[in-house]
Structure 1
């Protein structure tokens, strides 16, 4: 993987991490982090979508049970039907980043998610490999961003988190720019459906 691709991967992983940390600060667990629920807005920034099975009121001491999630992205504690908290989102992020980096899950070749360590290629960047191993830690109490802040990981050494959170950081590219600038397209009369406007939604109860 070239340095340019690593930079793109780093940027998107960092923005996803910012989104998860925002949710978790509000005691919300997403429970279904996967590529289909991660999109780009009109400016090229990450947006986490589909909060249909998200749960609020979840903390390190207030855990929940349930089978919610998508096969292949569920954390071991969910598969074992144990109580869990926001740590499950970091496991799912590990699977997402692995798929972005190597094209498939580190458990793709028959690995047992509940017992085996992830299998990662030897050519993977050392910092990225360490990031994945810490995100895909079987013990949720030892998982990255549960026992330490993901922002402090060496993989993100050149990330300016303040610029990222204030959207001053320049995304790798602007998606669909030609389409969005085409005023002749038959956009719905309800302008809130336009992809550049009102892209994200937050339940009023989450602003408490």
Structure 2
């Protein structure tokens, strides 16, 4: 896998310096994926685990939770589960870790459907669009009728047309990769990237070209009170 959006990550040393050094010394950055891979034990071959001394101090054996503590400076919420958005079971890169509630929908590699993971977002106005959705919109085929643009493909889209247009015009392109385990991974830079956009003007409360006299006459004809 060659991920053009991969970038190195270093644990901050101002929150838990001892923990940051411990994790850094026992992990290795993969420039092809952007993952920070744990180099020691894996419980059941799927979960990176740590020594008794560290686990006792931070009340967890799971390295992914230790990475969250080193990155944020606090324990993850008890009602959240930490999941890897990159699909790599060895990865402890906090930028690839998502705090998910048990009700969130996740597809596992051993299910009959391929797992789907998504790293990075576009921010378009007030809309936060994940890499998977960005890739979907950027790979739409060219419009059948150039005069109509992408309006035909957009008929059943939940995103506003101006957001989709901004995503398709963005210079940064989302990348789709199929991992060895069967997972489909979608990548943008592992952060929130704001992109240029042009929002349509807010709709006017009265038709263009009507004067105040026109509105006064319309209100009077409708037998409605004229606002002071």
Question: When the two structures are superposed, what TM-score results if normalisation uses the length of structure 1?
Answer: 0.23
* Bigger Cα Rg: 2
Q: Which has the higher helix share?
A: 1
Q: Which has the higher strand share?
A: 2
Q: Which has the higher contact order (CA 8 A, sep 6+)?
A: 1
